[in-house]
C-alpha cells in the first residue's frame, strides 16, 4: 500500500534524524545514548504537538504558526480549515435562527413547542398575546397547567388533527382554536389561532337567517292561504288552474325550506348536547319505513332491525336524522331499485345504516354534501322537492348526540350512509331479537 506524501516525508525526516544520531554516536562513541537522546527529542516534539492539537480541538487555542511544514503542518492546516467551516456553519445557523424567530414573531397565530410531557420549550410573541404566557416564568411548565379549560386538558391528552375550540383566557368574549401537531422526536407544536371574528360573523349570519326565516313565515302563510282558496274555487277559469297549482307547489317548497332553515339554525345555535330522553328507535324506524312503502312509483324500502336497543336523545332530532337519510335515499334511487335500512348494535355503540342502489355520488363531492344548499344533482333535487338542507341538519343533529356520519359511495353504484352513536347513549332492553319488516 502506498503511503501518502505527508507520511512518507515524516518517515523520511525520522529516518534522517535517527541516521544523524547514529553518525554522531559512531564518531563520538556511545551510539545507544545518542539514539536514546534523538528518540527523546522526537517524542517530546511529538507530545508538544499532540498537546497543542488537543487545545486547538477544544477551542482554547488558535492553530500554532511555528509549524510550517511536514505532517504536523498539514494536520494543523486541516484542523484550521475544519474550524473555519464550523464557524461559517454556526454563523449561518445563527442567521437562520434569527430569521425564524423574526418570522414567527410576525405571525398572528401562536406557536408553542412542547416536549412529550407537554412542557413548554419555546413560544412566539403571539402565544403571549393570545394565552398570556410569560417567557420569564412559563418555560418548562406544562401547558395544561397554565391553560386549565377542561376541554383543552382532555384534548392535549389525546390530540386529534381537527383541533379544539375553547374560550379565550384573556378576552371574555374571545374564542381560540388549538391544534397540536406531533413532529421530530417526542416533540409537539401547538398552533393557537384567534377565531373570535369568525365566531361573531357566524353568529351574525345565523341570527340573520333565523330572523329572516321567522319574518318570512307570516307573509308566506298568507300567500299560501290565498292560493289554497283560489285552488278550491270551482269558478276559477280553467287556464288559471295550472299556474295556481304550480304556485301552491312552490309556496309549499318555500315553506319547507323555511322550516329546515329554522331547524338548522336551532341546531347550530344549541350550546349543549341533546337531551337524554328515551327514544324507541325500532318503533320510529318502522313508522318511517311504512311511510315510504305506501306511495307507489318508488324504490322498495326494506327495514332490518338487528336489535331492539333504544337511544337516549331528542326524539324530534333523531326522527329528523333517520327520516332525512331515508328520504334522500328514496329520492335518488330509481323506482326499480332498493333502499335497505339497518339498525344494529355492537360493542362500540349503535349503528344506523341506509344502503341504496341509486345514482351514487362522485368521490370529490362527498366532503361537501353536508354543506347547506349543496346538491349532488341540482335539477333532480328541485324536481323531487329537496331543499338542500337535509344532510346539514343530519350532521348537526348527530353532533348533538355525539354521533358521527360516514358516507361511502361510487357514482352509478349507490351509496351507504352510516350513523354511529356512542354506547353512552345506547339502552338495551331484555329480549332483543332480530326482526325483518
CA 148 vs CA 141, 144, 145, 408: distances in Å: 13, 6, 6, 39
State the pLDDT at residue 8: 67
Going from the C-alpha of 44 to that of each of 38, 40, 50, 186, 418, the distances in angstroms are: 10, 6, 10, 50, 85
pTM, two decimal places: 0.57
Spatial distance between the Cα atoms of 415 and 417, rounded to a whole number of angstroms: 7
Q: Tell me: the pLDDT tens digits for 292-323?
A: 876 667 788 899 999 889 999 999 899 999 99
Q: What are phi and psi of 360, to 5 degrees?
A: 75, 175
The per-residue pLDDT for 319 is 92
Q: From CA 98, how far away is CA 92, in angstroms rounded? A: 10
- pLDDT for position 435: 39
**In the chain, which residues have pLDDT < 50?**
1, 3, 431-437
Where b means 16+ CB within 10 Å and e means fewer, 151-190 reads ebeebbeebeeebbebebeeeeebbbbbbbeeeeeeebeb
Q: What is the pLDDT of residue 67?
A: 54
What is the pLDDT at residue 61?
Answer: 56
d(Cα 362, Cα 34) in Å, to the nearest integer? 96
Residues 48, 61 contacting (CB under 8 angstroms): no
Task: Tell me the pLDDT tens digit for each residue of 177-222.
Answer: 999 988 878 888 888 998 888 888 877 877 777 777 777 778 888 8
Q: 341 and 303 in contact (C-beta within 8 Å)? A: yes
Three-state secondary structure call for residue 272: coil
Positive or negative: CA dihedral 128, 131, 133, 139: negative
* Rounded Cα gap, residues 101 and 270, in angstroms: 41
Amino acid at each position: 500500500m502506498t503511503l501518502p506524501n505527508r507520511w512518507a516525508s515524516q518517515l523520511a525526516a525520522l529516518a534522517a534524524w535517527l541516521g544523524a544520531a547514529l553518525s554522531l554516536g559512531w564518531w563520538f562513541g556511545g551510539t545507544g545514548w545518542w539514539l536514546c537522546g534523538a528518540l527523546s527529542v522526537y517524542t517530546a516534539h511529538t507530545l508538544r504537538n499532540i498537546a497543542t492539537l488537543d487545545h486547538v480541538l477544544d477551542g482554547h487555542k488558535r492553530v500554532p504558526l511555528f509549524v510550517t511544514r511536514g505532517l504536523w503542518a498539514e494536520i494543523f492546516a486541516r484542523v484550521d480549515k475544519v474550524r473555519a467551516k464550523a464557524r461559517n456553519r454556526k454563523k449561518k445557523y445563527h442567521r437562520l435562527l434569527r430569521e425564524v424567530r423574526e418570522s414567527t414573531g410576525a405571525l398572528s397565530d401562536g406557536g408553542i413547542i412542547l416536549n412529550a410531557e407537554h412542557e413548554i420549550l419555546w413560544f412566539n410573541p403571539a402565544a403571549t398575546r393570545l394565552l398570556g404566557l410569560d417567557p420569564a416564568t412559563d418555560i418548562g411548565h406544562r401547558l395544561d397547567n397554565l391553560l386549565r379549560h377542561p376541554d383543552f386538558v382532555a384534548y392535549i391528552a389525546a390530540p386529534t388533527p381537527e383541533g379544539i375550540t375553547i374560550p379565550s383566557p384573556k378576552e371574555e368574549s374571545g374564542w381560540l382554536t388549538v391544534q397540536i401537531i406531533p413532529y421530530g422526536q417526542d416533540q409537539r407544536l401547538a398552533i393557537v389561532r384567534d377565531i373570535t371574528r369568525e365566531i361573531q360573523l357566524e353568529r351574525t349570519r345565523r341570527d340573520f337567517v333565523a330572523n329572516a326565516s321567522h319574518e318570512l313565515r307570516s307573509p308566506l302563510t298568507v300567500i299560501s292561504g290565498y292560493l289554497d282558496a283560489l285552488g278550491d274555487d270551482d269558478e276559477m277559469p280553467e287556464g288559471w288552474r295550472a299556474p295556481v297549482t304550480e304556485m301552491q307547489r312552490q309556496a309549499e317548497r318555500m315553506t319547507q325550506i323555511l322550516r329546515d332553515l329554522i331547524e338548522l339554525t336551532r341546531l347550530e345555535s344549541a350550546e349543549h348536547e341533546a337531551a337524554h330522553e328515551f327514544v324507541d328507535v325500532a318503533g320510529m324506524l318502522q313508522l318511517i319505513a311504512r311511510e315510504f312503502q305506501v306511495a307507489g312509483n318508488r324504490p322498495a324500502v326494506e327495514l332490518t332491525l338487528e336489535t331492539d336497543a333504544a337511544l337516549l336523545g331528542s326524539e324530534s332530532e333523531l326522527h329528523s336524522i333517520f327520516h332525512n337519510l331515508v328520504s334522500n335515499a328514496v329520492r335518488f334511487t330509481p323506482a326499480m331499485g332498493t333502499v335497505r335500512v339497518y339498525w344494529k348494535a355492537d360493542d362500540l355503540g349503535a349503528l344506523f345504516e341506509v344502503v341504496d342502489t341509486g345514482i351514487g355520488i362522485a368521490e370529490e363531492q362527498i366532503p361537501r354534501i353536508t354543506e347547506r344548499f349543496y346538491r349532488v344533482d341540482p335539477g333532480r333535487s328541485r324536481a323531487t322537492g329537496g331543499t338542500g338542507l337535509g344532510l346539514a341538519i343530519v350532521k348537526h343533529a348527530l353532533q348533538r348526540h355525539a354521533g358521527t356520519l360516514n358516507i361511502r359511495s361510487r357514482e352509478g353504484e349507490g351509496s351507504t350512509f352510516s350513523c354511529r352513536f356512542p354506547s353512552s347513549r345506547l339502552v338495551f332492553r331484555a329480549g332483543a331479537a332480530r326482526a325483518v319488516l
